[in-house]
Amino acid sequence: MASALTREKTRRFGGEASLGIAFVIPMVVIMGGLVLLPLLSTMIDSVYNVSPMRAGTPFVGFKNYIDLFSNTTVNQSWRNTFYYVVLAVVLETAGGLATALLLNKVKIGRRWLLAAVVLPWCLPPVVNAVVWMWIYNPSYGLLTGVLHSTGLMTGPSLFFNDRYVMLFLVTLVHVWRMMPLTAIILLAALQSIPKDLYQAARLDGASSFKCFRLITLPLISGGLAIALSQSTVFAFNLFDEAWILNRASLDTRTVIIQVYLDAFQNLKFSLGMALSLLAMLASLLVSLFYVLKVYRETRFD
């Protein structure tokens, strides 16, 4: 009977490989043509000088990269991006973990609370930035109003004049949008922890904090690694919020804004490509670092 079934399968699905290939061909064409070939072209063209403003594409070796490292404007955008990444990842992880723990605890109306939490992630980042730009308005904004009415600040507000305050305000808009994703990922991890582990720990007299450190944290480490990598990649790619709130201002300019300016406003394609490759490598390296470190430190032995 079993062998008959196998023979039957082989007869009918001898063409499995060709059918499988047929199923993936549209994907291969699109991903190959619009992602992988352009990526290859980015790598190759970053050592040439490609610009729509001039004829010919002379080979320049690592000149583009050397130019980037010695350019103070580019270095400033790197510093801004690292500031965004550190602050956004810390705030999203702390806030996301707190939100996930709360969502895991709330029983009544959880569906609606979840909907409210997810909402910011669903909205266009541009609209978020516009809404927050109005909140941050120095004269009539909600932030100024609240600070005045609570007496925390008197007189005119000058937040946009301070570079670090401005970087923080841009990060806050980004965190508002991305924190829900961290919260959902961590909630999924929390829900996969068997309840009887906690009961057993309670019987042994473990405190809430001890339960959290010895049960919760190790068991959500996989989710934590995913949450950390995605928040890092998204913070490295920060463009919309900084662009809407402060345009090309050097105070808040990110590496991706620098790429956009180099390529599409100054029409230095090769310089932009070299910079975007460096940004990609940096974000990949940091993500990889988290994945390895989180796994190593919190693994169950």
Q: 167 or 274: whose CB is closer to other proteins?
A: 274
Hey, what long-range contacts does 280-285 have (CB within 8 A, 24 or more apart)? Answer: 282/236, 283/232, 283/233, 283/236, 283/237
Output the CA–CA distances (angstroms, integers) from residue 297 to 25, 97, 214, 294, in the order listed.
Answer: 41, 18, 12, 5
Which residue, among 232, 122, 114, has the nearest Cα to 184 in the 3D structure?
114
Buried b (16+ CB within 10 A) or exposed e, 268-281: bbbbbbbbbbbbee
Closest CB to other proteins among 83 and 223?
Answer: 223
Minimum distance from residue 72 beta carbon to other proteins (Å): 23
Query: Is the CB of 9 or the CB of 210 nearer to other proteins?
Result: 9
Q: Which is nearer to other proteins, 94 or 123 (CB)?
A: 123
Instruction: Report the SS3 class of residue 48.
Output: strand
Between residues 114 and 153, which has the closer beta carbon with respect to other proteins? 114
- Kindly state the helix (H) or strand (E) to which residue 69 belongs, with its residue range: helix 63-69
* Choice between 72 and 150, CB closer to other proteins: 150
Smallest separation, CB 264 to other proteins (Å): 6
Long-range pairs, 163-170, Cβ under 8 A, ≥24: 163/251, 163/252, 166/245, 166/246, 166/251, 166/252, 167/80, 167/83, 167/84, 167/87, 167/251, 167/252, 168/87, 169/132, 169/136, 169/245, 170/84, 170/238, 170/241, 170/242, 170/245, 170/246, 170/252
Closest approach, Cβ 210 to other proteins, in A, equals 17
Report the nearest approach of other proteins to the CB of residue 262 (Å): 9
Q: Give the position of tokens 């072209």.
A: 41
Degrees, nearest 5: CA angle 92-223-214: 100
The residue type of 2 is A
- Least Cα distance to 177 among 266, 241, 228 occurs for 241
d(CA 228, CA 170) in angstroms, rounded, equals 19
Q: How far is the CB of 253 from other proteins (least distance, A)?
A: 14
CB of 189 to other proteins, least distance (A): 7
Closer CB to other proteins, 8 or 162, in the complex = 8
- Is 118 or 292 the residue whose CB approaches other proteins more closely? 118
* 86 versus 119: smaller Cβ distance to other proteins: 119
CB of 8: closest distance to other proteins in angstroms? 8
The least CB distance from residue 24 to other proteins, in Å, is 5
Please report how close the Cβ of residue 147 comes to other proteins at its closest, in angstroms: 11
Rounded CA gap, 164 and 35, in Å? 36
